[in-house]
Amino acid sequence: MKTLLRCLVILPALLASSVYANDLDFAHIETTGYGEVTAKPDMAEFSVQVEKLTKTSEQAKQSVDKVVSAFIEHLTAEGVSREDIVSGNLSLSPRYNYPKDGEQELVGFRASRRVTVSVYELDKLNGILDSALGDGINRVDNIRLKIRDQASYAEQARMAAIKDARAKARSLAKGFGMALNGIWSIRYNSVSPQPVLMRNMAAEAKIQGAGGYQDAAITIRDQVNVVYRIK
């Protein structure tokens, strides 16, 4: 029974190997190249949430709009371009109290609005975040450090991956007394660099430290799979 099980396990592997061999009926080397580039962030993006609960829907709307307007004015005074400030639509919904006995009671209306900001002068980031909490903002979250010229760094990582794949193939071929004889195939899936997520802050929280983002780094990685003919 054990022998039969071994045969059942090995058979699929042999079949897969056979199919692969039939597809590539020539001497070849398959390599995977890896590339990595590290860059300092030169911009930040964050969102703020404004929420108000009042007796009437109009009061809730006005309260939220007032906070958002004051926040935008503060940002522009700090040198943030209006194009780098994106205000979301106002969300308005009733709020009810549900007593154990009796019908539901309307207690007020909740209005909320999200604003997303891009900051290109990182030395102003901490001050902007501090003032946001003082402007009546309920929450600052999704603080991400990013790179403006992302495409350039991605290209550097890609070229490093290509160079790595080629170097490995040449080394292997040389070690076995052979030489590369052209490329048979290239498989490539780009890897999107991830921004550095710094922290979330509730309204009552205080920003600790100053310029902690200065030591942050973003790593852009890429890889490529190449099949070389050898002779």
Q: Which domains does the chain have, with CATH numbers?
A: 24-40+148-195+217-231 (3.30.110.170), 43-146 (3.30.70.2970)
Task: Please report, for residues 7, 10, 24, 184, 227, the alpha-carbon distance to residue 14 in angstroms, rounded to integers and kept in the order given.
Answer: 10, 6, 15, 23, 21
Q: Which two tokens stand for residue 28?
A: 């070849």
Using alpha carbons only, give the angle 184, 189, 191 rounded to the nearest 5 degrees. Answer: 145
Residue with tokens 């390599």: 31
CA distance 178 to 13: 28
Percent of the chain at pLDDT above 90? Answer: 60
- What pLDDT is attached to residue 16? 39
Taking residues 175-192, what's their average pLDDT? Answer: 91
pLDDT at 82 over 70: yes
CA neighbor of 75 nearest in space, from 104, 14, 117, 138: 117
Q: pLDDT by residue (tens digit) across 197-206?
A: 665 544 334 4
Give phi and psi for 209, each to the nearest 5.
75, 180
Is the pLDDT at 191 greater than 90? The verdict is no
Contacts of 29 (CB under 8 A, 6+ apart): 169, 172, 173, 180, 227, 228, 230
Positive or negative: CA dihedral 143, 145, 150, 156 = negative
Which one has a higher pLDDT value, 7 or 128?
A: 128
3-state secondary structure of 121: coil
Q: Provide CB contacts within 8 A for 215, sequence distance 6+.
A: none
Q: Which residues of 38-56 are buried (b: 16+ CB within 10 A; e: fewer)?
A: ebebebbbbbbbbbbebee
| pTM of the entire predicted model | 0.69
